[in-house]
């Protein structure tokens, strides 16, 4: 907790946790305003969790969520109304504190001199000069000039963004490159399945962002508000502007917990868990260890989602743990899948079905989770089978592992970069934007029809780097992404079905079949997942070392 005092009546801080509420009370605050929507980050507690702890401590709370970097006039009005009704002093929080500081600045602009606002926020460590420009320009942030300019700007410091920065500098070391990302911590999210199975410790999957940004790359610790591609500009929170010659968009996607009624209020208790959140994966393992009888549900929402096999991995590893403890016969495993097949590439289904049978799991297709009553331990699903009228069914549970629906981040969906569905619109081979020729995208946020996995980003980053360098040198694209994705399906502790495939479900094995047949469970694939892939991720992929990740060359005469 890093509280920054702006005035005697108002302070701001980055994201808080329920455990910090008592300390906030002891500091003298009487109220809290949350300016961060639920679901922005994989380690973010819900507002419901904060509100429960705050009320228990005798603090008043208000929820004025503002999309990352996008402070609208109506948000300022809502913030002012909340501030008026709350006892002082008030603590505002968001991911970094910048949104809260911005809201305060714009609210106070009606009654305080601008220099006084800038001085107060600067003393607290927040640069509101962009807000000043917005106020001076009648509410609009001008983008004809910027606060900074780079050869390449990368939005997103996840797997795809950092790998692309490293690959770019290995090809052309004199580039000025910036990564824009507000997060302090970078997560190896593929490891959370194994945290939920008691194999990894949570800390093994997290490192500080500062330790991973490649040498020579400028880290801009901020959220993106908007893109103005016609002016080669990115608008940040605080209304700052960053200009670029070329842009890479890789912010990942948004976990939409709120899309399931009742889910945010019950996450992390009442037997409701998810390996899609850093702080909840240990709860998955706790539930599995403690469960001796009852019904366990594992849900999968409609596509697209990242690592679509993660839901099955949780189911298989839980079933294996119960099998080893001799309690599996007392546990009813139900897989609730909004789709119509167990896995999208048919060659891997026979091996997976053997484990479905081993764990006596029931497959329920076309079942989409729409609501949870955690206290009553009931889950409601919309059932929409082909050629039948949709219906709803409610199922009792003792444990439920939830995968939330997933969408592109809000600042992407409303941008000129997005297609009709809200994803960044790229050529699926070159990963270049279809409209703006100096923009590329990779990772989970773009609309190529590939599996959204870290392994996909590992192959996409060199493709983007090759094509950006070619563009700088005045050449046409030279590299093509073939849709490669990998999903190591952990079917039991010690064995994995290693699914590797490209566009159209074409198998793309990395190893000769005699060494590793991915369509069958193997200990070699488990060794790769547990022992090899984490160091490959940290020490190779994020360092620009492209082992087994070289891009495909574009064939002469092929059109982009």
Residues serving a catalytic function are 307, 487
On whether the CB atoms of residues 53 and 111 are closer than 8 A, the answer is no
Residue 95: CA count within 13 A, CB half-sphere: 21
CA angle 432, 436, 442 (to 5 degrees): 30
DSSP 348-371: GHHHHHHHHHHTTPEEEETEEEEE
Helix ranges, 114-187 (H): 114-123, 129-136, 159-171
If one counts every other C-beta atom within 10 angstroms of the C-beta of residue 144, the result is: 9
On whether the CB atoms of residues 333 and 316 are closer than 8 A, the answer is no
On whether the CB atoms of residues 41 and 184 are closer than 8 A, the answer is no
Nearest alpha carbon to residue 285 among 300, 301, 268, 306:
268
- What is the distance of C-alpha 418 from the center of its chain? 18
On whether the CB atoms of residues 108 and 10 are closer than 8 A, the answer is no
Residue that is written with structure tokens 């980053």 in the block: 461
| Eight-state DSSP code of residue 158 | S
- CA distance linking residue 169 with residue 546, whole number of Å: 13
Residue that is written with structure tokens 């909004």 in the block: 338
Residue that is written with structure tokens 């999968």 in the block: 300
DSSP 172-210: -TT--EEEE---SEEE-GGGHHHHTTTSS-GGGGEEEHH
Tokens found for residue 272: 């409701």
- What is the distance of C-alpha 97 from the center of its chain? 20
DSSP 205-216: GEEEHHHHSPTT
| Eight-state DSSP code of residue 267 | T
| Eight-state DSSP code of residue 507 | B
Q: What is the 3-state secondary structure (H, E, C) of 280-344?
A: CHHHHHHHHHHCCCEEEEEEECCCCCECCCHHHHHHHHHHHHHHHHCCHHHEEEEEEECCCCCCC
Tokens found for residue 537: 């991720």
On whether the CB atoms of residues 428 and 449 are closer than 8 A, the answer is yes
Residue that is written with structure tokens 């980055």 in the block: 14
- What is the distance of C-alpha 391 from the center of its chain? 31
- CA distance linking residue 167 with residue 545, whole number of Å: 7
Strands 331-337 and 272-273: unpaired
Peptide bond preceding 304 in cis form (omega within 30 of 0): yes
């Amino acid at each position: 907790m890093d509280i920054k005092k702006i005035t005697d009546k108002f302070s701001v801080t980055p994201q808080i946790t329920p455990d910090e509420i008592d300390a906030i009370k002891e500091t003298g605050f009487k109220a809290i305003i949350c300016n961060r929507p639920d679901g922005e980050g994989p380690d973010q507690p819900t507002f419901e969790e904060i509100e429960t702890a705050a009320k228990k401590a005798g603090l008043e709370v208000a929820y004025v969520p503002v999309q990352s970097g996008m402070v609208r006039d109506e948000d300022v009005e809502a913030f002012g109304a909340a501030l008026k009704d709350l006892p002082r002093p008030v603590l505002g929080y968001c991911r970094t504190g910048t949104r809260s500081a911005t809201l305060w600045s714009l609210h106070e602009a009606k009654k305080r001199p601008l220099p006084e606002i800038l001085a107060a926020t600067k003393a607290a460590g927040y640069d509101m000069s962009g807000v000043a420009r917005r106020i001076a320009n009648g509410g609009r942030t001008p983008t004809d000039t910027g606060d900074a300019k780079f050869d390449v700007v990368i939005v997103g410091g996840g797997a795809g963004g950092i790998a692309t920065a490293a690959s770019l500098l290995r090809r052309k070391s004199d580039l000025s490159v910036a990564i824009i990302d507000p997060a302090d911590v970078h997560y190896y999210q593929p490891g959370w399945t194994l945290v939920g199975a008691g194999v990894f410790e949570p800390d093994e999957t997290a490192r500080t962002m500062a330790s991973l940004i490649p040498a020579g790359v400028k880290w801009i610790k901020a959220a993106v508000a908007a893109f103005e591609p016609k002016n080669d500009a990115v608008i940040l929170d605080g209304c700052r502007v960053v200009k670029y010659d070329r842009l890479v968009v890789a912010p990942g996607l948004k976990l939409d917990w709120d899309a399931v009624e009742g889910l945010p209020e019950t996450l992390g208790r009442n037997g409701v868990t998810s390996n899609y959140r850093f702080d909840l994966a240990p709860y998955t393992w706790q539930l599995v260890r403690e469960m001796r009888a009852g019904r366990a549900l594992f849900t999968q929402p409609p596509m697209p989602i990242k690592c679509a096999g993660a839901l099955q991995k949780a189911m298989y590893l839980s079933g294996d743990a119960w099998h080893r403890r001799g309690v599996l016969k007392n546990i009813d495993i139900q897989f609730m899948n909004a789709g119509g097949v167990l896995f999208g590439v048919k060659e891997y289904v026979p091996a997976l079905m053997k484990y479905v049978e081993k764990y006596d799991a029931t497959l329920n297709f076309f079942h989409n989770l729409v609501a949870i009553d955690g206290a009553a331990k009931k889950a409601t699903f919309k059932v929409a089978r082909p050629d039948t009228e949709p219906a709803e069914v409610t199922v009792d549970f003792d444990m439920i592992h939830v995968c939330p629906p997933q969408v592109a981040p809000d600042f992407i969906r409303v941008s000129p970069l997005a297609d009709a569905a809200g994803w960044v619109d790229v050529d699926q081979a070159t990963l270049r934007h279809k409209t703006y020729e100096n923009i590329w995208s990779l990772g989970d946020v773009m609309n190529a029809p590939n599996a959204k996995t870290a392994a996909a980003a590992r192959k996409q980053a060199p493709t983007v780097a090759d094509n950006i360098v070619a563009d700088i040198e005045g050449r046409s694209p030279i590299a093509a992404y073939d849709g490669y994705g990998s999903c190591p399906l952990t079917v039991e502790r010690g064995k994995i079905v290693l699914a590797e495939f490209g566009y159209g479900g074409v198998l793309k094995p990395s190893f000769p079949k005699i060494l590793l047949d991915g369509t069958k469970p193997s200990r070699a694939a488990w060794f790769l997942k547990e022992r090899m892939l984490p160091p490959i991720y940290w020490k190779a992929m994020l360092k620009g070392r492209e082992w087994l990740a070289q891009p495909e060359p574009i064939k002469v005469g092929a059109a982009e």
